[in-house]
Structure 1
Amino acid sequence: MEQRLAAVLAADMAGYSRLMEADEAGTIARLRTHRIELIDPAIAKNKGRIIKTTGDGMLVEFQSVTDAVKCAVEIQQRMHRRNSDVPQDRRIEFRIGINLGDIIFEDDDIFGDGVNIASRIEQLADVGGICVTAAVAIQIADRLEVSVEDLGEKTLKNISRPVHLFRIGLEYSLAAQPADFDAKRSVSKPSIVVLPFNNMSGDPDQEFFADGLTEDILAELSRRHELFVISRNSSFVYKNRAVNVREVAEKLGAQYLVEGSVRKIGDRVRVTVQLIDAANDAHIWADKYDRKLDDIFAIQDEITAAIAATLPGRVEAAQRDQLARTKPANMAAYECALAAKVLHHRGTVADNEQAQILIDRAVALDPGYAHAHAWRACILGQAWVHGWCEDKDAVWNEIVAALDRALALDDNDADVHRILAAVNVNNNTLTTARYHQERALSLNPNYDLVVVQQGELLTWLGQPDEGIEWIRKAMRLNPHHPERFWSHLGKAHFAARQYGEAIEAFMHLSVMDEVQHAFVAACYGWLGDKIAAAAHMKKVRTLHPEFTVESFLATLHYAQQSDVEHIRDGLVKAEGNEGFPAANDSTAP
C-alpha cells in the first residue's frame, strides 16, 4: 500500500444507459473511436495514467494539477466540436471532476477520500463541463489561461464536510470559423466497419484463421488516423449472419464496409476481400490472394499488410469522387485536407497555392486537427523546396511551427512523423529525419508511404541495397501505389550502381521531370552510351535552361561524399567533353 498526493480526474459519460438502450453497438463503437482518437492521446500527452475504466467512465491520475486541467479542457472542447453535427439524443458527452488530495495506491487501483471527492464532484459538473475543488483552482489560478467560476461550498454524498467547488469556463466560440461554416462536424473522417470474414472451407480448423485475419485487419486499419474504424465488439455481432449492407452501415454508423471470405483448397488458401460503399451498395474495390499453406501465420501477416495498405487508398479515392460533387464552401476540415492533398500531389505552382488555401481552411475549421497541421507543413514544404515562395526563411519558420503544433496535438499519428522525417531530409538534418522515420514506421509498419520513405532515407544514408528492398516492399503492399515510387526505386538502383535496373524503373514514369532525366543521363553516362546520355541531357536543358551541376547537386541529400561524386561523375560522362557550366559561370545558358 502506498499513499501520496496526486491530482485525480474522474470522468463519466452523460446519459450512458439511455444511449445503450437506444443503440448499444453504435454507442460502444462511437465511444471506442473517441477513446482512440481523442481521450487516450490527450491523457498520454498530458502525462496522465489511467487507473480504472468502467463502461461509461474512468479514473486518471496526474502528478500535476495543471496537466489534469489541461487534459480535461482539451477533451471537453474537442468533444464539443465533434458533436457539432450529431443529433442531441445521440451525442456522447462527459462530465469531469478534478480533485487534489492524498490517494492510496494498492494493486493498480486507487482509494481514499481524494478519489471519492473527485467522483462526487464529477456528478455535479455540467454535461460537457468541468468541476474542480478549491485546491485545484488555487493551483491553476496563475498558470492556466482559463476562467474559474466560484460555486461555493457544496455538501457531497458520503462526505462529512462541505467542499468548496469551482467551475472551469470553456470557450466554445465559433468566431475562428468562416462565416459560411455550416455546422458540419469539423473532422468528418470516413468511417469503416470490417465484418468477420467467412470461413468457406468447410474446415472448422480454418475458423481461427478467418477470425484472426479479421482482427488483424481491424488492428492495422486502426493505426490509420484518417479513418474511423468501428470496433471488433460491434462488427463481430454479425459473425455467421446474412447481412444487409445498408442496415449494418446505418446501425454502426459506417460509410464503408469490408467483407471477405477464406477458402482452403488442398495445400493452398484463397482469401477474397471487397470494399463496399454503404450509401449505394457499390463495390469500390475487390481483390483475392492465393497463397501456399506453408506457414499460415506468415500468410495471415502478409494478407493483412496488403489489405491494410490498399484499403485506405481506395477509401480516399472514393472520397475524392464525392468531393468533386461538393461545393467548396461547405467543406469540413477533413474534406479540405483531402482536397489539399490531391492538389499537392499534382506538383505545380498553381495547385500548391490552392492547396495552401484549403489546408489553411482545414486548420481554421479545427485547430486541434493534428493531421491538418502536418499536411500544412508538407504543402508549405513543397513550396519551400521548389522555391515557390518569396521569403524562404519565413516559410521555413511556418513549416517548423506547423510541425511543432501537429506533434503537440498527436504524437501517435504516423503521418505527423512521416512528414517530419521528409521535411528534415529536405533540410539535410538526416539524424532527426531518421528518428521520426523510425517512429512513423513503428506506429504504422504497413503504411506504404512510410515504407517507401524508409527506402528513400536509406538511399540518402548510403544504404541503397536495403533501400531497394523497402521500396519494393511498399510496391507490394500497395499495388495501386503512386507513380513516383518508380522514381524512388530508380534513384536507389543508381546509388547501388545498378544502372540498367535504374533506367528500367525510371521508364515506368509516364512523364519525367528534369531531375529524373538527369539521373537517367548519369546512368547512360556510366554505361558509356553517349547518344542516349546526350538525349536525356537535352531534355534536362529543355525543362530547366539554367541547369548546372552544382545547383543540381545542392538539391540532393546524400550523407556520403562518395555518393555525391558518383552522380557528379555520371553527369560529366553524360555531357562528354563539353562539361557543365558552374553555378556562377556567366556563360551558363
Structure 2
Amino acid sequence: MPTVEAPPLERKLVAIMAADVEGYSRLMHEDEEQTLATLSAHRSIIDALISAGRGEISGTAGDSVLAEFASVVDAVHCAVSIQQALAKANADLPDESRMLLRIGINVGDVMVKDGSIFGDGVNVAARLESIAEPGGICVTRGVRDHLRDRMDYEFEDLGEHHVKNIVRPVRVFRVCFEPDGTAELPQGGSSASKEGVHLAIDQGPPVAASADAVELAFWQSVQASDDPSEYQAYLAQYPKGDFAALAQARLANPSPSEQSSSEDRAIELEFWNSIKDTELRAMFEAYLKKYPDGEFRALAEIRLEALPG
C-alpha cells in the first residue's frame, strides 16, 4: 500500500507580536467580574489597533494575544500605539483594576496551519513578552537592526538572555517610548502578507491613533451587544464619551426576560476561556466554587484530576 505523505506546511517570514496581561491571575482572584469587564474593554482596543496597524490576529488564549505583521515597522508602531492607548484607558480606572500589558516582538520564519502560526519565531516573541516590564515592549536584535534608521524610538540593550526551549541566547532590547504620547498608525486595514517582511517599503502617510479613534472602535465592538456588562465597561472608560447617552439608554432598557441568564453565561464563558489553558489548580477550584453546576464543570474536574496536588 503506497505511503501517503502529508502536504508540506506553509512557511513565511513575518514580524510576530506576543502580548499578555501582567498579574492576570491575581486580578481574577481579587475581582473576577471587574477583571473580565476590563479585559473585554482592553481587548476591544487591542484588536482595533492591530487591524488599524495592518496586523492580523493569529491566536488568543485568555489574557494573551498573538498577532503577525508583514512589516516590522508596522508591528512596532502598533505595539507602541497599544501601550499608549491602554495607558489612557487605565487612567480612568481605579489602581486595583488597571491592566498592564507586556509585549514582545520578533521577526522570523514561522509555520502556518489552520490560520495559526508556530515555530521558534513565535516562541521567542512569547519569551520576550515575559521579559518585558508591565506596560513595556521588548524586541530582538533583528527587530532593532531593521528599525535603527527607520523609526525615532531608542532601544535600551538588556543583554543576552537564555530563554526556554531556544538553544542560542537571545539579545533583548527595550523599546523606549513616551507612555502618554500618541503613536501613528498607517492608513488601511490588515495586510499580513504571505510574501514576507517588507522592510523598506514606504507604506503611505500615517494617521494618529487618537483617543477618539480608540473610543469609536470600542463602541463599534459593543453597540450590537445584548450584554449590559459591555455597556458598563464602555461607560467606565468613557463616562463623558460621545456614545455615553446611548450606552446609558441601552442599560436603562435591557432586552426582556433572558437578559440576566445571558449575562451570567457570558461571564462564565469568559471565566472558563481565561483559565482553560492554565496549569494552576487554584483556578479550576475557583471556577467550581463559583459555578458548581456550570457548563464546564466536567472539564474542570478532569483538569483537576490531571494536575498534581
Query: Do the two structures share a fold, i.e. TM-score over 0.5?
Result: yes
Partner of 2:20: 12
Matching residue's letter, 2:64? G
2:71 aligned residue (64, 69, 74)? 64
How many angstroms does 1:261 deviate by? 6.1
How many angstroms does 1:88 deviate by? 2.3
Q: 1:162 to 1:134 in 2, by over 3 A?
A: same
Q: 1:44 to 1:138 in 2, by over 3 A?
A: same
Tell whether 2:36 aligns with 1:42: no
1:119 aligned residue (97, 116, 126)? 126
Tell whether 2:103 aligns with 1:109: no
Q: 1:222 to 1:231 in 2, by over 3 A?
A: farther
Counting aligned pairs with the same residue, the percent is 45
Partner of 1:167: 174
Q: 1:137 to 1:31 in 2, by over 3 A?
A: same
Verify the 8 A CA contact 1:25 1:234 in the aligned structure 2: no
Q: 1:73 to 1:154 in 2, by over 3 A?
A: same
How many angstroms does 1:229 deviate by? 6.2
Tell whether 2:78 aligns with 1:84: no
Note the alpha carbon deviations across 1:414-466, whole angstroms, 9 max, x for none: xxxxxxxxxxxxxxxxxxxxxxxxxxxxxxxxxxxxxxxxxxxxxxxxxxxxx
CA distance in 1, matches of 2:27, 2:228: 15
Verify the 8 A CA contact 2:112 2:118 in the aligned structure 1: yes
CA distance in 2, matches of 1:94, 1:223: 18
SS at match of 1:128: coil
Q: 1:62 to 1:18 in 2, by over 3 A?
A: same
CA distance in 2, matches of 1:52, 1:84: 28
Structure with bigger strand share is 2
CA distance in 1, matches of 2:117, 2:20: 17
CA distance in 2, matches of 1:230, 1:39: 19
How many angstroms does 1:262 deviate by? 5.3
CA distance in 1, matches of 2:218, 2:25: 30
CA distance in 2, matches of 1:125, 1:173: 18
How many angstroms does 1:20 deviate by? 1.8
SS at match of 1:33: helix
How many angstroms does 1:81 deviate by? 1.9
How many angstroms does 1:159 deviate by? 1.4
Matching residue's letter, 1:66? V
Tell whether 2:266 aligns with 1:258: no
Bigger Rg, which one: 1
Alignment of structure 1 residues 413-492 onto 2, 5 Å: none
CA distance in 2, matches of 1:124, 1:222: 30
| TM-score, structure 1 normalization | 0.32
Partner of 1:2: 10
2:157 aligned residue (137, 145, 150)? 150
Verify the 8 A CA contact 2:48 2:217 in the aligned structure 1: no
Partner of 1:275: none
Tell whether 2:31 aligns with 1:23: yes
CA distance in 1, matches of 2:53, 2:232: 35
| TM-score, structure 2 normalization | 0.59
How many angstroms does 1:90 deviate by? 0.8
Note the alpha carbon deviations across 1:2-50, whole angstroms, 9 max, x for none: 11211100010111112222222222222222232x2122111221110
Matching residue's letter, 2:20? D
Alignment of structure 1 residues 569-584 onto 2, 5 Å: none
How many angstroms does 1:125 deviate by? 0.2
How many angstroms does 1:224 deviate by? 4.6
SS at match of 2:134: coil
CA distance in 2, matches of 1:43, 1:89: 27
1:98 aligned residue (96, 102, 105)? 105
Q: Comparing both chains, which one has the higher relative contact order based on Cα–Cα distances under 8 Å and sequence gaps of 6 or more? A: 2
Note the alpha carbon deviations across 1:35-87, whole angstroms, 9 max, x for none: 32x21221112211100011101110111111100000100112112222422
How many angstroms does 1:260 deviate by? 4.5
Partner of 1:73: 80
Matching residue's letter, 1:165? V
Verify the 8 A CA contact 2:19 2:66 in the aligned structure 1: yes
Q: 1:224 to 1:165 in 2, by over 3 A?
A: closer
SS at match of 1:83: helix
CA distance in 2, matches of 1:21, 1:229: 29
CA distance in 1, matches of 2:118, 2:128: 16
Verify the 8 A CA contact 1:7 1:64 in the aligned structure 2: yes
Note the alpha carbon deviations across 1:184-211, whole angstroms, 9 max, x for none: xx969xx9xxxxxxxxxxxxxxxxxxxx
Note the alpha carbon deviations across 1:378-407, whole angstroms, 9 max, x for none: xxxxxxxxxxxxxxxxxxxxxxxxxxxxxx
Q: 1:102 to 1:187 in 2, by over 3 A?
A: closer
Q: 1:138 to 1:222 in 2, by over 3 A?
A: closer
Note the alpha carbon deviations across 1:489-522, whole angstroms, 9 max, x for none: xxxxxxxxxxxxxxxxxxxxxxxxxxxxxxxxxx
Structure with bigger helix share is 1
Q: 1:120 to 1:231 in 2, by over 3 A?
A: farther
Q: 1:222 to 1:97 in 2, by over 3 A?
A: closer
Verify the 8 A CA contact 1:30 1:230 in the aligned structure 2: no
How many angstroms does 1:149 deviate by? 0.7
2:41 aligned residue (23, 26, 33)? 33
RMSD between aligned alpha carbons?
A: 3.4
Structure 2, gaps ≥5 residues long? 1-8, 182-209, 240-247, 258-309
Structure 1, gaps ≥5 residues long? 175-185, 192-220, 237-247, 264-589
CA distance in 1, matches of 2:108, 2:11: 10
CA distance in 1, matches of 2:255, 2:52: 40
The number of residues matched between the two structures is 208
